[in-house]
């Protein structure tokens, strides 16, 4: 066999991002919405797509979509940057504000893609630790920012996989430290923001280094279409526009994002249902033997079992229920994460848990 070129030296140790999929009845492992989008949305979207000139490139600036997202959030369109899923938004932020010679601060345990994309973009990762209840300590965050001078600070709230929602005072302390030492760009990942009772969106202003990242993958039931966006100072949005590939957002994605916004009420109803289901799931889990449930502001719940977490995960799979196994992750020993599903899926998950924990 002839030799093939080696990838970049700094990428050799990199492992791919895996979220194991198994063919089971109840899939509660990837934090998607359990509800497909409304049929009326699919009609509106496919009508718009049929009318689109497919031999032409899409609107490079995605202006109609950005203006509409902005109007939905009470922000000007110039403060919106849209991309293929919030992962591409995060990648573009790191390509623009991270990179060789720059650092990004993350607070572990958190969304693994933050440090993964850092490594891909040659950005050095600095790991802060969360408290035992998975909150960020504002004092520790301030000292880390002062000592390490990161170019980017990630605050995931609600945090994946713990569900933790940060206090406004913590965010204020982080933004204060970011302003004093840099300024660093504070990226608030609100992929699950709609499920929480507070958001950093009102912090976004043209003179503050804060960017809030959101997605259509969860609340808007459009994970398959890949659309996410950032809300931030217009000068930062301009910089992101220079870095992202031209015409990266297909006409199918742009029209879907626009059409979905007309279904805001239907989406809000789903949020209400899922939050109620999350509370029901949290209560049911707390009643099961040996489980510690962590408070969540997202569409998932993390818990720790007093027994062997991986064995419990396997037991659930044997009962046809797939949840996410974090039991061997640093700081998450014996923890599993359940995505909130339909009421029936949640009932089946709790019944399977009870059966495994009671040894049936």
Site residues, ligand PMP (CB under 6 A): 31, 85-87, 111, 156, 160, 189, 191, 215, 217, 223, 228
Nearer to ligand PMP, 189 or 277 (CB): 189
We find the least distance from the C-beta atom of residue 226 to ligand PMP, in angstroms, to be 7
Which one-letter DSSP state was computed for residue 34?
S
Nearer to ligand PMP, 225 or 356 (CB): 225
We find the least distance from the C-beta atom of residue 216 to ligand PMP, in angstroms, to be 7
We find the least distance from the C-beta atom of residue 120 to ligand PMP, in angstroms, to be 15
We find the least distance from the C-beta atom of residue 80 to ligand PMP, in angstroms, to be 15
CB-based contact 173:141 (threshold 8 Å) = yes
We find the least distance from the C-beta atom of residue 225 to ligand PMP, in angstroms, to be 9
Burial environment of residue 69 by CB neighbours within 10 A (0 to 12, 13 to 18, 19 or more): buried
We find the least distance from the C-beta atom of residue 282 to ligand PMP, in angstroms, to be 19
Count of CB atoms situated within 10 Å of the CB of 1: 3
Nearer to ligand PMP, 142 or 253 (CB): 253
Beta pairing, strands 210-215 & 228-231: antiparallel
Nearer to ligand PMP, 299 or 327 (CB): 299
Nearer to ligand PMP, 111 or 294 (CB): 111
Nearer to ligand PMP, 142 or 193 (CB): 193
**Full DSSP string of 8-27:** PGGGTTPPPP-------SEE
We find the least distance from the C-beta atom of residue 253 to ligand PMP, in angstroms, to be 12
Bridge partner list, 305: 291
Nearer to ligand PMP, 166 or 189 (CB): 189
> Which token pair is 94?
């790191």
Which one-letter DSSP state was computed for residue 123?
P
Q: Which residue blocks in the chain are alpha helix, DSSP H?
A: 39-51, 63-73, 85-97, 112-120, 138-148, 168-180, 234-243, 251-260, 264-286, 309-318, 343-357
Query: Which single residue brings its beta carbon nearest to ligand PMP?
Result: 85
State how far the Cα of 110 lies from the Cα of 302, in Å rounded to an integer. 12
Q: Is the peptide bond before 60 cis (omega within 30 degrees of 0)?
A: no
């Amino acid at each position: 066999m002839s030799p093939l070129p080696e990838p970049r030296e700094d990428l050799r140790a990199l492992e791919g991002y895996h979220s194991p999929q198994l063919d089971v009845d109840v899939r509660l492992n990837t934090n998607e919405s359990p509800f497909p989008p409304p049929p009326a949305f699919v009609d509106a979207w496919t009508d718009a797509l049929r009318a689109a000139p497919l031999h032409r490139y899409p609107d490079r600036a995605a202006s109609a979509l950005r203006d509409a997202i902005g109007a939905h959030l009470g922000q000007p369109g110039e403060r919106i940057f849209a991309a293929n899923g919030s992962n591409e938004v995060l990648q573009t932020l790191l390509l623009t504000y991270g990179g060789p010679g720059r650092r990004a601060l993350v607070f572990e345990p958190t969304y693994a893609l933050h440090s993964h994309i850092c490594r891909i973009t040659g950005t050095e990762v600095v790991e802060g630790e969360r408290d035992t209840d998975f909150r960020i300590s504002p004092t520790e965050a301030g000292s880390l920012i002062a000592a390490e001078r990161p170019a980017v600070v990630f605050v995931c709230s609600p945090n994946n996989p713990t569900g933790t929602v940060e206090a406004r005072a913590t965010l204020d302390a982080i933004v204060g430290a970011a302003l004093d030492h840099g300024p660093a760009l504070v990226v608030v990942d609100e992929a699950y923001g709609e499920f929480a009772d507070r958001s950093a969106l009102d912090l976004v202003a043209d003179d503050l280094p804060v960017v809030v990242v959101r997605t259509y993958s969860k609340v808007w039931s459009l994970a398959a279409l890949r659309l996410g966006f950032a809300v931030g100072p217009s000068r930062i949005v301009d910089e992101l526009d220079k870095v992202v590939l031209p015409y990266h957002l297909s006409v199918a994605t742009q029209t879907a994002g626009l059409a979905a916004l007309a279904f805001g009420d239907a989406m809000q109803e789903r949020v209400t249902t899922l939050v109620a289901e999350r509370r029901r799931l949290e209560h049911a889990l707390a009643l099961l033997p040996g489980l510690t449930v962590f408070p969540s502001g997202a569409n998932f719940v993390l818990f720790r079992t007093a027994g062997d977490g991986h064995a419990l995960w396997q037991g659930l799979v044997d009962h046809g229920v797939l949840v996410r196994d974090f039991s061997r992750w640093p700081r998450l020993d014996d923890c599993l994460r359940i995505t909130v599903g339909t009421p029936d899926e949640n009932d089946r998950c709790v019944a399977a848990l009870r059966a495994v924990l009671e040894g049936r």
